Amino acid sequence: MENVKIEVRDAIAIITIDRPKVLNALNAQTVAEIGEAFEQVRNDDAVRAVILTGGGEKAFVAGADINELATMNPITGKETAERGQRVFTAIERFPKPVIAAVNGFALGGGCELALACHIRIASDKAQLGLPEVTLGIIPGYGGTQRMARLLGKGKALELICTGDRIPADEAERIGLVNKVVPADQLMAAAEEMARKMASRGPLAIRAAIEAVMIGSDMPQDAGLVLEATLFGLLASTSDMKEGMGTFLEKRQAKFTGK
Ligand code: CO8
């Protein structure tokens, strides 16, 4: 892959979008490579958590590549949006926790990418926003849906319709990011959280993500059925016996994902 790099360290895959000269802008190739990177990591049993970040000092991702967007017609525009939405939805439903380490600008498609991740940790230098309306378009990689679900319709419409960029501390205040840390501690903070999640039962983590991400789009009664079914399923796993055993025997868990 040309624009996306994968590094695996201690059960954690760090996926870096690496086109720093254009602030990691998402052209079609980069979107495809992000999808490919997640597929590689999905099939790697040694990986139990993922950190997604941007290469260089300035940006997580400064949006879709405006040079490509400028050439869209109605057909290619819809197709491009759908292709990106498929990749981003695969991230949202990824069976291992995905933490966005937002190291700088997360704008437009970059903010939408962060929104598709399960957790967002931001550097104190990060700025986030959906500036699409300043270009005469709307978010097309899920931003209208995921931001409204995360923040509520009022705040989402404020950000989408002004196109304003907000600093990391405000993003934390409104719940757009989980926490903010000094820039030089960003990767350490993301790795610390990823390591903690990677040490838990992987099948339980997978079920938790499914229950929250799929369940929150269902009526609550159906979501509760999903939760109970996944809960029951976990009772059939060695990981459950291991987890309960460690508590009763006061020892460290060794989960196998079986
Ligand atoms: N696309 C292409 N190139 C970009 C992008 C981008 N989104 N962002 C930055 N770049 C390039 C710049 O053109 C510049 O290149 P060059 O050095 O060749 O001139 C280089 O990156 C560095 O950028 P700047 O010189 O502008 O850096 P500054 O520090 O002055 O400014 C900003 C940083 C504020 C982030 C500024 O670059 C900016 O405003 N970028 C555009 C942000 C934006 O509008 N993003 C939203 C794009 S639209 C979108 O994401 C739609 C998603 C949905 C698509 C649905 C499918 C069709």
Which one of 7, 39, 82, 132 is the catalytic residue?
A: 132
**Average pLDDT of the residues in 83-87:** 98
Alpha-carbon span 164 to 55, nearest angstrom: 24
User: In the CATH hierarchy, which top-level class contains the domain 202-249?
Assistant: mainly alpha
Alpha-carbon span 70 to 194, nearest angstrom: 38
Q: Would you state the pLDDT for residue 253?
A: 86
pLDDT greater than 90 at residue 247: no
Place of tokens 């460690």: 246
**Average pLDDT of the residues in 69-98:** 97
Q: How confident is the model at residue 68 (pLDDT cuts 50, 70, 90)?
A: very high
Q: Would you state the pLDDT for residue 226?
A: 98
Q: Report which ligand 1 atom has the smallest distance to the Cα of 84.
A: 56
Answer yes or no: is the C-beta of 109 below 6 A from any ligand 1 atom.
Answer: yes
pLDDT greater than 90 at residue 118: yes
Cα dihedral across residues 77, 79, 85, 91: positive or negative:
negative
Domain spans in the chain, listed from the N-terminal domain onward: 4-198, 202-249
Find out whether 120 and 177 touch, Cβ atoms under 8 Å.
Answer: yes
Residue 199 CA neighbour count, 13 Å, CB half = 8
pLDDT greater than 90 at residue 251: no
pLDDT greater than 90 at residue 252: no
Query: For the chain, first and last CA: distance in Å?
Result: 32
Find out whether 62 and 107 touch, Cβ atoms under 8 Å.
Answer: yes
C-alpha of residue 17 to centroid of ligand 1, in Å: 15
pLDDT greater than 90 at residue 250: no
Cα dihedral across residues 193, 90, 7, 168: positive or negative:
negative
Q: How confident is the model at residue 37 (pLDDT cuts 50, 70, 90)?
A: very high
Fold category of 4-198 in CATH? 2-enoyl-CoA Hydratase; Chain A, domain 1 (3.90.226)
C-alpha of residue 108 to centroid of ligand 1, in Å: 9
Alpha-carbon span 24 to 32, nearest angstrom: 14
* Residue 48, token pair as written in the block: 């139990």
19, 21, 22, 23, best to mutate for ligand 1 pocket (most atoms within 8 Å of CB): 23
Find out whether 25 and 135 touch, Cβ atoms under 8 Å.
Answer: no
3, 22, 57, best to mutate for ligand 1 pocket (most atoms within 8 Å of CB): 22
Q: pLDDT digit string (tens) for 171-211? A: 999 999 999 999 999 999 999 999 999 999 999 999 999 99
Q: Which H or E run contains 193?
A: helix 186-198
C-alpha of residue 18 to centroid of ligand 1, in Å: 14
Find out whether 15 and 52 touch, Cβ atoms under 8 Å.
Answer: yes
Find out whether 203 and 234 touch, Cβ atoms under 8 Å.
Answer: yes
Answer yes or no: is the C-beta of 76 below 6 A from any ligand 1 atom.
Answer: no
Residue with the smallest CA separation from ligand 1 atom 42 is: 62
Q: Would you state the pLDDT for residue 206?
A: 97
Indicate the burial class of 7 (C-beta count within 10 angstroms; 0-12, 13-18, 19 or more): exposed
C-alpha of residue 66 to centroid of ligand 1, in Å: 7
Which residues, including other chains, have CB under 8 Å from residue 2's CB and lie 6 or more apart? Answer: 29, 33
Q: Would you state the pLDDT for residue 104?
A: 98
User: Can you say how many angstroms the Cα of residue 198 is from the centroid of all Cα atoms in its chain?
Assistant: 16
Q: pLDDT digit string (tens) for 122-152? A: 999 999 999 999 999 999 999 999 999 999 9
Q: pLDDT digit string (tens) for 21-36? A: 999 999 999 999 999 9
Percent over 70 (pLDDT), the chain: 100
Nearest to 50 by CA among 116, 105, 112, 145: 116
210 is catalytic: no
pTM above 0.75, yes or no: yes
Q: Report which ligand 1 atom has the smallest distance to the Cα of 112.
A: 52
